[in-house]
Amino acid sequence: LNSGIKKIVTISDGIPLHDMVLIRQAAKEHGALVVGGNTSGVISPKVAMMGSFPHWIERVYKKGNIGVMTRSGSLTNEVTAMIVEAGYGVSTLIGVGGDPVPGTRFAEMLPYYEADSETNAVVIIGELGGTMEEEVAEAIKNKTFTKPLVAFLGGRTAPKGQRMGHAGAIISGGKGSVEDKIKALTEVGALVAERPRMVGKLLVELKVPKSI
């Protein structure tokens, strides 16, 4: 950041919380974008990639008009495959990461998708814990994000108070449950898929133009 780099992807997980707080503050001061940690990275198919994606990437990540934001890794591959199967492709996918304090949050990325002429709709792949999905709902409510949005949220059956894979995936104080997130998103008109396979079907239901 001090050397002037404006876009950074951090794939490492387990970065100390205090360090990430300092990194977020430094990124704001430098007008930079830090994605991660604990992320696969960022990809615009057929354009550019930063991070670590599977060797069979071209079979799943087809270029198209759907923006994707995700907190997960393996779920990202599955949901994106379902998007492609439904006749859509990806404009830009951003993995914000699964750690408790990410460099960039969902809501902070929405303005980029809102302004992107190649993105007709956005899919978020969330999970229990934290408030990122609720922040997306607030952006839709305030009309700072106006494009169609579909969500899939992992962890519907996870027991409260137990960490599930990611350090960020933990419910505390009765907040961050999948039920709360579904309620917040559906109240502002977003569609929430019960299963990964339903994501593509919901995009069709929203009449988003197919791109592949």
- Determine phi and psi for 18, rounding to 5 degrees: -65, -35
- Determine phi and psi for 22, rounding to 5 degrees: -65, -40
- Cα–chain center distance at 72: 8
- Catalytic residue status for 18: no
183: how many CB neighbours lie within 10 A of its CB? 13
**Sequence spans of domains, the chain:** 39-205
How many residues belong to the chain? 212
Going from the C-alpha of 181 to that of each of 9, 33, 104, 122, 187, the distances in angstroms are 27, 26, 19, 16, 10
DSSP string, 98-116: SSSS-SS-HHHHHHHHHH-
Q: What is the mean pLDDT of the chain?
A: 91
pLDDT of residue 10 exceeding 80, the answer is: yes
Average pLDDT over residues 33-45: 95
Confidence bin at 212 (pLDDT 50/70/90): confident
Question: Taking the C-alpha atoms of 176, 180, 182 and 183 in order, what is their torsion angle to the nearest 10 degrees?
Answer: -150
Tokens for 64, please give them.
């198209």
Per-residue DSSP letter, 159: P
Catalytic residue chosen out of the listed positions 18, 30, 55, 166 = 166
Q: Which fold has domain 39-205?
A: Rossmann fold (3.40.50)
pLDDT tens digits, residue range 70-115?
999 889 999 999 999 999 999 999 999 989 899 999 999 999 999 9
| Secondary structure of residue 95 in the 3-state scheme | strand
pLDDT at 171: 56
Q: Indicate the range of 34-43, 139-148, 153-162 predicted with least confidence.
A: 153-162
